[in-house]
Amino acid sequence: MEPVVSPAIISEMEEALSQVSEIRAARVVTSPAGHIDEIHVLALPSKAPKQLVRDIESTLMAAFGIAVDHKKISIAQLGQESVPQAEAVKPHARAQIKSINAEVVGVYVNIGVALELEGELFVGKATGPASRTGRERLVAEATLDAIAQYLQGAFTFALEDVEIIRLGRESVAVSCVVLVTSLGEQAFAGSALVRQNDKDSIVRATLDAINRRLGFLTTT
C-alpha cells in the first residue's frame, strides 16, 4: 500500500531533496488521498539524470522510509552555463548587515537595508505605509531586495509574513520566505532573538530563512 503523506511531511521532503548538491528546487505533488503522484526537480547538469533519480530515491528512503517509483520522478536540468565555477561555489555564503535606515515621509516610510556579500555591497529598498506592521514587512522586503540584487534575478524570494512574537521572556523575530521557481514555491522560515532592535532582528530572521540557499543559488 502506498504511504499517505501529510502537507507537513511534503514540505520536509522538499527541504530534504533541496539539500542534495545538484538540486536547486523540488516539488512533491500528491493525489487528493495523500499519495505521491509526481516529484519534479530542477537541477544542475553536473550529474546524469539516472544517477540523480537514484539519489532522490535514496534520500527519501533514508530520511522518511518512503519508496518512490522512479517513473514518478521528473528531472529538469538547467543549462551548462548555470554551473558555478569551482572557485565561485560558496555553500556557506553569509550576508553581513552593514546598515538599516528608515526615512519617514508623511504617512510613508522608506526602508534601506545594506548587506555585504562576498565583498560586495547590496542596498535593498522598500517603501510603504509607516504603520508598525507595515514597517516590519518593509524591513524584510528591503532585505530580500538586496538579496535579489546579489542573485542577479536568477531566482525570486517573496515575503510570506514577518512578526515579532514573545516566547517566554524573550522577543523573537520570525520571518517566512517563499522561493519562487518554475516548479512552484518552497517556503522557508527563519528566526532571530531581538537583541539590538526590532529592525535588526527582522533582517537577521529573514536572512536566517534563506542563508542555507545562497551558496547554491549563485550563478557565474
User: Average pLDDT for residues 70-79, to the nearest whole number?
Assistant: 83
Predicted TM-score (pTM) of the model is: 0.59
Domains in the chain: boundaries:
7-82, 87-217
CATH class of the structural domain 7-82: alpha beta
Mean pLDDT score across all residues of the chain: 84
Return the higher-pLDDT residue of 181 and 147: 147
Residue pLDDT, tens place only, 5-35:
888 888 888 888 888 878 888 889 988 888 8
User: Average pLDDT for residues 136-145, to the nearest whole number?
Assistant: 94
> Comparing C-alpha atoms, which of 119, 107, 175, 110 is closest to residue 138?
110
Which set of grid coordinates corresponds to residue 217?
543559488
Q: Please answer whether residues 123 and 100 qualify as being in contact, where contact means their C-beta atoms are separated by less than 8 angstroms.
A: no
Please give the CATH topology (third level) of the domain spanning 87-217. Answer: Double Stranded RNA Binding Domain (3.30.160)
- What is the C-alpha separation between 140 and 161, in angstroms, rounded? 9
- Please name the residues in contact with 52: beta carbons below 8 A apart, sequence gap of 6 or more: 20, 22, 23, 41, 43, 75
